[in-house]
Structure 1
């Protein structure tokens, strides 16, 4: 049996524990729901305080809904746009290389544009499913993705800018264009454009990383100077040049009203490039507006990266990324539907492949009829 003194001592201990638990429950109510150390109360001694499961708070529900919407948009992109961009850009390269003897200067520029688009389309499958932005917490992956995105953006806009200038030279300076618009000069221009695109991404990257060596959670894409450079050099200045070129081209076409056949032919040549430029502007405008709002927003420096503008608006950041990736998927459609030269090459390419396939089947049938099958047993 237990002695009365010991029994009384147990009762006092139990009452003391209950009083302490009630005191903790009354004074740490907010910590149970929002404190980071609230689960410490839910141990074996005070388990009756945590019998009810916590309901999902409104911010958690909102984040869950945004995650579902982002996942749905990523699936739509992967099912509909990614195959078009991946197969279409490869087809542009294969068809034009197969008919390299018929390659024109605009075809050469579109081939290089297809290479840039193919790189981004292949890289986009990693980015479009980065819904919780966990990849941005790894410095190497974040930097790798940012570099690929920037090189593709710079190369695309630089090629489109140069193509607009090339169209202006071809239309406005008909006599002098034959001197400057040669295939050798076009190849040299493509090499310089790629060099400029890679330099525009790598030079700031090197300078910034030398200043942030050793930082664990540093990401190249979060530097404001890099983002300002991306907006000005990769969007504002090129489109100012493109707008000037096409305004001058319109003036030339208006003055060419006496030569109707010449005007129609020039208009057909310009139509595809104009559509490509417009699609690029529409797809990349949300990304640049999103970055501009982030840069212009007055925020106090905080130690946590989770307080950045992109982390505060993950769904919007995901949507503008998908819009930017969509540009590389839509260019093959524009090229195939509006490019008359490419349609002719594609038709010849399909006909040649069909003839080769038919010839291959005919040769196999002939060989089978002449040479007996080795599996058949000869009669003696």
Structure 2
């Protein structure tokens, strides 16, 4: 929990003022996120999901992955709404929460991060398959839906297995099984390896294969036009956003796991580490609104689908009003 109470005995000390400055900066960033980024992310993710699911026939393989990323983004919005108004990020918190709520938020955050990272990874690999072997239906919408089901299942299982260490660190030490697992660094190591190292290596491998195909002019490229050419730029933007926004968070986990558990450090170092952790979490949460904005901007078919959905809703309302007028005329 973010607190400067340890410096109360020396209110004029440099450490106390540094702590207060860090708390103020984090509070300002949190407020800006809640006022600007939170509503934008909530609206854009909801639109992305509703528009695509209302036009299931026209959905492509990338659309399915982006719908899953948007659902994970909505979960991140929920986490942000609760956590950013709590004592960790706000100088004047609106509420306090116990360990159970903390564990729940951590579970949702980790599940969302895993779904987003692995959706990006598999989208890169499926895009390569579609470019290398077009019209083989190996990366079809049907297969992608089943793959995304495995992504969510694997993310839930992975999160709960790694968070077992967090749970045991908050329960009584009288439980023998948990007394041997009260090691938060082990949970951070699991998330660092599974949630960042593996998907990033897979994404980089897929990008190398994609660029090799693009450099070679083969007859297969003529047949790969079934995918929108803008998908390549959208994929590159997605990968860049993921790496830029999530790398600081996992680097903070790496620093935390590398440091020897129980190692003594100064109060100022602890405050600086906590400040960097809060900033990294804010950057990670920012992916919940950055990705749908990029998708809306770069996907050529999204605007058309949105217009069709609005027209359908308008036509339904007009049809209902027309039917009501006909019914009134029949009564009179």
TM over 0.5: yes
**In the superposition, relative to structure 1, how do residues 139 and 369 fare at CA in structure 2: closer, same or farther (>3 Å)?**
closer
* Equivalent position to 2:100, from 111, 117, 140: 140
Measure the CA separation in 2 of the matches of 1:207 and 1:296: 17
Task: Please state if 1:238 is matched with 2:199.
Answer: yes
* Equivalent position to 1:196, from 146, 149, 154: 154
1:44-75 CA-to-partner distances (Å, cap 9, x unmatched) read: xxxxxxxxxx9644333222222221111111
Asked if the contact 1:105–1:186 (Cα under 8 Å) also holds between the matched residues in 2, the reply is: yes
Measure the CA separation in 1 of the matches of 2:7 and 2:44: 52
Task: Please state if 1:59 is matched with 2:15.
Answer: yes
Measure the CA separation in 1 of the matches of 2:66 and 2:155: 16
Task: Mark the structure with the bigger radius of gyration.
Answer: 1
Measure the CA separation in 2 of the matches of 1:174 and 1:285: 33
**In the superposition, relative to structure 1, how do residues 92 and 232 fare at CA in structure 2: closer, same or farther (>3 Å)?**
same
Equivalent residue for 1:330? 290
**In the superposition, relative to structure 1, how do residues 263 and 173 fare at CA in structure 2: closer, same or farther (>3 Å)?**
closer
Asked if the contact 2:165–2:186 (Cα under 8 Å) also holds between the matched residues in 1, the reply is: no
Asked if the contact 1:146–1:221 (Cα under 8 Å) also holds between the matched residues in 2, the reply is: no
* Equivalent position to 1:269, from 231, 235, 254: 231
Give the 3-state SS of the residue equivalent to 2:217 in structure 1: helix
Asked if the contact 2:103–2:167 (Cα under 8 Å) also holds between the matched residues in 1, the reply is: no
Equivalent residue for 1:296? 258
Equivalent residue for 2:3? none
Task: Please state if 1:227 is matched with 2:188.
Answer: yes
**In the superposition, relative to structure 1, how do residues 369 and 283 fare at CA in structure 2: closer, same or farther (>3 Å)?**
same
Give structure 1 stretches of 5+ with no counterpart: 1-33, 39-53, 373-380
**In the superposition, relative to structure 1, how do residues 139 and 308 fare at CA in structure 2: closer, same or farther (>3 Å)?**
farther
Measure the CA separation in 2 of the matches of 1:184 and 1:263: 18
1:356-379 CA-to-partner distances (Å, cap 9, x unmatched) read: 445556667x5799599xxxxxxx
Measure the CA separation in 2 of the matches of 1:297 and 1:229: 16
1:102-117 paired onto structure 2 within 5 Å: 102-117=58-73
Measure the CA separation in 1 of the matches of 2:125 and 2:168: 37
RMSD across aligned C-alpha pairs, in angstroms? Answer: 3.6
Equivalent residue for 1:127? 83
Give the 3-state SS of the residue equivalent to 2:216 in structure 1: helix
Task: Please state if 1:159 is matched with 2:119.
Answer: yes
**In the superposition, relative to structure 1, how do residues 76 and 221 fare at CA in structure 2: closer, same or farther (>3 Å)?**
farther
**In the superposition, relative to structure 1, how do residues 250 and 295 fare at CA in structure 2: closer, same or farther (>3 Å)?**
same
**In the superposition, relative to structure 1, how do residues 128 and 222 fare at CA in structure 2: closer, same or farther (>3 Å)?**
farther
Asked if the contact 1:294–1:309 (Cα under 8 Å) also holds between the matched residues in 2, the reply is: no
* Equivalent position to 2:50, from 94, 102, 114: 94
Give the 3-state SS of the residue equivalent to 2:293 in structure 1: helix
Equivalent residue for 2:215? 254
Asked if the contact 2:42–2:289 (Cα under 8 Å) also holds between the matched residues in 1, the reply is: yes
In the alignment of these two chains, the number of paired residues is 317
**1:125: how far off?**
1.2
**In the superposition, relative to structure 1, how do residues 221 and 250 fare at CA in structure 2: closer, same or farther (>3 Å)?**
farther
Equivalent residue for 1:349? 309
Measure the CA separation in 2 of the matches of 1:210 and 1:197: 20
1:300-347 CA-to-partner distances (Å, cap 9, x unmatched) read: 446x9x969765533322211110000011111111111122222112
Task: Please state if 1:71 is matched with 2:31.
Answer: no
Asked if the contact 2:75–2:109 (Cα under 8 Å) also holds between the matched residues in 1, the reply is: no
TM-score calculated relative to the size of structure 1: 0.72
**In the superposition, relative to structure 1, how do residues 149 and 260 fare at CA in structure 2: closer, same or farther (>3 Å)?**
closer
Give the 3-state SS of the residue equivalent to 1:256 in structure 2: coil
